[in-house]
Structure 1
Amino acid sequence: MSIQDIIEGKKRWRDHMTRVKALPKDYQIVYKEIQKYLFKVGPVELTDEKGLLSGIVDLFEGGAVLGKGVLEVTGSDVAAFCDELIKDSQTYADINQESFGQKVNNHLKED
């Protein structure tokens, strides 16, 4: 990753967070909790330009424009909302499990 890539990534993140800060307060609160949850769970394609967090902001902006409360958009179980969003996404945990399994199998084959 080049310095230019890092700079561009930071710019995109600042632009993204500007969009979040423009949301109504209830949406901002739920977004921040979703962000924490997803950072812990670790889907791989979380922060790229067309990634999951950007899609959530798109959804939230649409809900806010329609005058909906944030829980009307996500449902009352926000964790279940998040889990549904990432159910088919590869996570860092998946990558680590695959790597671990390959290492164990390689060691067993060597013996």
Structure 2
Amino acid sequence: MSIHDIIEGKKQWRAHMARVKSLPPDYQIVYKEMQRYLFKVGPTGLTDGPLLPGIVDFFEEGAAEGKGVLELIGEDVAAFCDDLIKDSRTYADVYQESLGGKPGTAEK
């Protein structure tokens, strides 16, 4: 990764976060909780993939229609996030594979 790539990545991230800051306050709170959860769960392509910008697009549309954020995603933010990444490869999967097991299985 070159210095140019790092700088470009920071510019994109700042533009992304500016979009988040333009959302209504309740949307911002839920977005930050979703972001925290997703960074913790760890889909491997999270930072450079379409997931986070897609969430912001979804939230911008909902806010433009005058809907509350919980009307869009439901009461359980974690369940909504889990549904978004259910078919994604996570860091837990990578770790499990490095141990020689299949993803989603525990050694006994």
**Is the pair's TM-score, using the shorter chain for normalization, greater than 0.5?**
yes
Greater fraction of residues in helix: 1
SS in 2 for 1:101: coil
Match of 1:107 in 2: none
SS in 2 for 1:72: helix
Match of 1:24 in 2: 24
Aligned-pair CA distance for 1:31: 0.2
* Runs of 4+ with >2 A deviation: none
Match of 1:81 in 2: 80
TM superposition score normalised by structure 1:
0.87
Cα offsets for 1:2-54 (capped at 9, x unmatched): 11111111110000000000000000000000000000000012121x52111
Partners of 2:53 and 2:11 lie apart in 1 by 14
Aligned-pair CA distance for 1:58: 0.6
CA RMSD of the aligned region, Å? 1.1
Match of 2:39 in 1: 39
What are the residue-to-residue correspondences of 1:1-111 with 2, within 5 Å?
A: 1-48=1-48, 50-101=49-100
TM superposition score normalised by structure 2:
0.90
Partners of 2:94 and 2:50 lie apart in 1 by 18
How many residue pairs are counted as aligned between the two chains?
101
Partners of 2:5 and 2:97 lie apart in 1 by 28
Partners of 1:11 and 1:34 lie apart in 2 by 22
Unpaired runs of 5+ residues, structure 2, are: 102-108
| Contact 1:46 1:52 survives alignment (8 Å) | yes
Q: Percent identity, aligned pairs only?
A: 74
| Contact 1:34 1:78 survives alignment (8 Å) | yes
